[in-house]
Amino acid sequence: MTLKELTAKEVQEQLESGKDLNIIDVREDDEVAEGIIPGAQHIALGNLPVVMHDLNAETPYILVCRSGGRSGRAQELMADEGFDVTNMVGGMLAWEGETK
């Protein structure tokens, strides 16, 4: 199975073009308190195995964390359950570099 990826720049461009994206930030509460992509939903990675069953499996999701590692794990977890998920490579470090 090939896992899909987008760069922070690609996600930013899609948001700026008005595309309705379903972004899930899997970082911890204290990390999210420092900033989150506008419109993103926060579900900490540790809570994802329980909470993801409340999400619509027909909806494509973009996953983000600090650098791309935890969102990659979240992507594998959700993909195994049949979700259409894309990892934003580079995470919030890349996002902050693109949006400054």
pLDDT tens column, 6-34: 999 999 999 999 999 999 999 999 999 99
- Looking at residue 77, which CATH number applies to its domain? 3.40.250.10
Tens-place pLDDT, residues 34-83: 999 999 999 999 999 999 999 999 999 999 999 999 999 999 999 999 99
- CB contact at 8 A, 32 and 73: no
CA distance 7 to 66: 13
Helix/strand/coil (H, E, C) string of 27-75?
CCHHHHCCCCCCCCEECCHHHHHHHHHHCCCCCCEEEECCCCHHHHHHH
Phi then psi dihedrals of residue 63, to 5 deg: -105, 140
Residue among 43, 65, 74, 88 flagged as catalytic:
65
64 has catalytic annotation? no
Domain of residue 58: give its range: 4-99
